[in-house]
Amino acid sequence: MARYLLRRLNLFLATSFVLFIVLFIVTSHFPVEKSFALTGLHSPNAQQIEQIEKNYSLNDGQFSQFFSYLQQRLSGDLGISATSQRPVIEELASVLPASFELAAVSAMLALTLGIPLGVLASLSRHKITQHTIMAITLTGYSIPVFWLGLTLSLWFGVQLGWLPISGQLNLLYEIEPVTGFVLIDTLLSDSPYSTSAFIDALLHIILPAITLAVLPFTVVVRITRAAIITIMDQTYIKAAEARGLHTSRVVLRHALPNALIPVLKNLGLMLGPFASYAMVVEVIFAWPGVGAWLVSGIYQRDYTVIQGGVLAVALIIIFISIMIEVLYTAINPLSRKELYASN
Amino acid sequence: MPLLDIRNLTIELDTPHGRVKALERVSLTINPAEIHGLVGESGSGRSLLARAILGIPGHNWRIQADRMMWDGHNLLEMSPKQRRNLMGSEIAMIFQDPSSSLDPVIVVGDQLIEAMPENKKLHFWQRAKDQKRTAEKWLHKVGIKDTQKVMSSYAWELSEGECQKVMIAIAVANQPRLLIADEPTNSMEAKTQAQIFRLLTKLNQLHNVSILLISHELETLSIWCDQLSVMYCGQIMESGPTSEIINQPFHPYTKALLNNIPDYSGLVQHKSMMKTLPGSAPALQHLPIGCRLGPRCPEAQKKCVNQPKLCHKKNRYFACHFPYHEEPCNDDATTTS
User: In chain B, what are the domain boundaries?
Assistant: 1-90+178-183+210-262
Structural domains in chain A (count): 2
Q: Of chain A residues 18-77, which have a CB less than 8 A from chain B?
A: none
Distance (Å) from the alpha carbon of A8 to chain B's nearest alpha carbon: 23
Q: Of chain A residues 233-252, which have a CB less than 8 A from chain B?
A: 233-236, 238-247
Which residue from A minimizes the CA distance to B175? Answer: A243
Do residue A241 and residue B56 have CB atoms under 8 angstroms apart?
Answer: yes
Which stretch, A135-144, B42-51, B87-96, B184-193, has highest mean pLDDT?
Answer: A135-144
Instruction: Pick from A233, A236, A251 the residue to mutate for testing the B interface (most B CBs within 10 Å).
Output: A236
Do residue B115 and residue A243 have CB atoms under 8 angstroms apart?
Answer: yes
Burial environment of residue A42 by CB neighbours within 10 A (0 to 12, 13 to 18, 19 or more): exposed
Of the two residues A125 and A209, the one the predictor is more confident about is: A209
Distance (Å) from the alpha carbon of A321 to chain B's nearest alpha carbon: 23
| SS3 per residue for chain B | CCCEEEEEEEEEEEECCEEEEEEEEEEEEECCCCEEEEECCCCCCHHHHHHHHHCCCCCCEEEECCEEEECCEEHHHCCHHHHHHHECCCEEEECCCHHHHCCCCCCHHHHHHHHCCCCCCCCHHHHHHHHHHHHHHHHHHCCCCCHHHHHCCCHHHCCHHHHHHHHHHHHHHCCCCEEEEECCCCCCCHHHHHHHHHHHHHHHHHHCCEEEEEECCHHHHHHHCCEEEEEECCEEEEEEEHHHHHHCCCCHHHHHHHHCCCCCCCCCCCCCCCCCCCCCCCCHHHCCCCCCCHHHCCCCCHHHHCCCCCEEECCEEECCCCCCCCCCCHHHHHCCC
A339 shares contact with chain B (CB less than 8 Å):
no
Can you give the length of chain B in residues? 337
Same domain, A95 and A127: yes
Query: Using CB atoms, which residue from A238, A243, A334 is nearest to B104?
Result: A334
Lowest mean pLDDT among A17-21, B118-122, B158-162, B245-249: B118-122
Interhelix angle A127-142/A88-123, rounded to 10 degrees, is: 160
Class of domain B1-90+178-183+210-262: alpha beta
- CATH code, A304: 1.10.3720.10
Which residue from A minimizes the CA distance to B94? Answer: A239
Give the other-Cβ count within 10 Å of B202's Cβ: 12
Same domain, A135 and A48: no
Residue A283: pLDDT band with limits 50, 70, 90: very high
Residue B134's contacts (CB-CB under 8 Å, 6 or more residues apart) are B116, B119, B173
Residues B236 and B254: their CA atoms lie apart, in Å, by 11
Query: Using CB atoms, which residue from B54, B97, B106 is nearest to A242?
Result: B54
Contacts of A263 in chain B (CB under 8 A): none
Residue A112's contacts (CB-CB under 8 Å, 6 or more residues apart) are none
Burial environment of residue B306 by CB neighbours within 10 A (0 to 12, 13 to 18, 19 or more): middle
Do residue A244 and residue B170 have CB atoms under 8 angstroms apart?
Answer: no
Residue A11 forms part of a structural domain: no
A74, A103, A119 - which closes a domain: A74
Summarize pLDDT for A44-78 with one digit per residue, the tens: 888 888 888 888 888 888 888 888 888 888 888 88
Instruction: Pick from A234, A243, A264 the residue to mutate for testing the B interface (most B CBs within 10 Å).
Output: A243
Domain containing A100: what range?
A: 90-342
Lowest mean pLDDT among A220-229, A277-286, B76-85, B257-266: B257-266
Per-residue pLDDT, A210? 92
Residues A89 and A72: their CA atoms lie apart, in Å, by 12
Do residue A235 and residue B154 have CB atoms under 8 angstroms apart?
Answer: no
A74, A99, A114 - which closes a domain: A74
Per-residue pLDDT, B237? 84
Residues B93 and B209: their CA atoms lie apart, in Å, by 12
Instruction: Pick from B105, B178, B180 the residue to mutate for testing the A interface (most A CBs within 10 Å).
Output: B105
Which residue from B minimizes the CA distance to A261? Answer: B105
Q: What are phi and psi of A302, to 5 degrees?
A: -90, 90
* CA A316 to centroid of chain Cα atoms: 8
Per-residue pLDDT, A341? 56
* Mean pLDDT over the full length of chain B: 81
Same domain, A169 and A33: no
Work out the widest C-alpha separation in chain A, in whole angstroms. Answer: 84
Residue B333: pLDDT band with limits 50, 70, 90: very low
For CA atoms B63, B64, B65, B67, the dihedral sign is: positive
Residue A4 forms part of a structural domain: no
Per-residue pLDDT, A17? 93
Per-residue pLDDT, B331? 53
Q: Return the closest-CA partner of residue A261 out of A307, A325, A317.
A: A325
Per-residue pLDDT, B337? 41
| Average pLDDT of the segment spanning A104-108 | 92
C-beta separation of A91 from A83 below 8 A: no
Do residue B88 and residue A233 have CB atoms under 8 angstroms apart?
Answer: no
Task: Using the predicted structure, report yes or no on whether residue B79 has a pLDDT greater than 60.
Answer: yes
| Average pLDDT of the segment spanning B310-329 | 76
Q: Which residues of B make CB contacts under 8 Å with A? A: 51, 54, 56, 58-59, 84-89, 92-93, 95, 97, 100-106, 111, 114-115, 154-157, 167, 170, 174
Give the other-Cβ count within 10 Å of A75's Cβ: 9
Same domain, A62 and A143: no
| Average pLDDT of the segment spanning B221-244 | 86
Q: What are phi and psi of B89, to 5 degrees?
A: -90, -40
Per-residue pLDDT, B332? 47
For CA atoms A279, A281, A282, A284, the dihedral sign is: positive
Distance (Å) from the alpha carbon of A328 to chain B's nearest alpha carbon: 12
Residues B242 and B224: their CA atoms lie apart, in Å, by 9
Task: Using the predicted structure, report yes or no on whether residue A318 has a pLDDT greater than 80.
Answer: yes
Distance (Å) from the alpha carbon of A258 to chain B's nearest alpha carbon: 7
Do residue A236 and residue B102 have CB atoms under 8 angstroms apart?
Answer: yes
* CA B119 to centroid of chain Cα atoms: 31
| Average pLDDT of the segment spanning A325-343 | 71
Which stretch, A8-22, B13-27, B33-47, has highest mean pLDDT?
Answer: A8-22
| Inter-chain CB pairs, A–B, below 8 Å | 75
Which residue from A minimizes the CA distance to B169? Answer: A243
Contacts of B106 in chain A (CB under 8 A): 253-254, 257
* Cα dihedral B292→B293→B299→B300 (10° resolution): 30
Residues A3 and B155: their CA atoms lie apart, in Å, by 24
| Average pLDDT of the segment spanning B101-121 | 82
* Integer angstrom CA distances of residue B4 from A307, B27, B29, B202: 76, 10, 6, 21
Burial environment of residue B314 by CB neighbours within 10 A (0 to 12, 13 to 18, 19 or more): exposed
Same domain, A157 and A289: yes
This model of the complex carries an ipTM of 0.76
Residue A83 forms part of a structural domain: no
Which stretch, A118-122, B158-162, B171-175, has highest mean pLDDT?
Answer: A118-122
Residue A1 forms part of a structural domain: no
Summarize pLDDT for B239-279 with one digit per residue, the tens: 888 888 888 888 888 888 887 777 777 676 777 777 777 77
Which residue from B minimizes the CA distance to A256? Answer: B105
Summarize pLDDT for A146-174 with one digit per residue, the tens: 999 999 989 998 888 888 888 888 777 77
Residue A9 forms part of a structural domain: no
Per-residue pLDDT, B335? 43
Residue A10 forms part of a structural domain: no
Beta-strand relationship, B235-241 and B227-232: antiparallel
Residue A244 forms part of a structural domain: yes
Residue A3 forms part of a structural domain: no
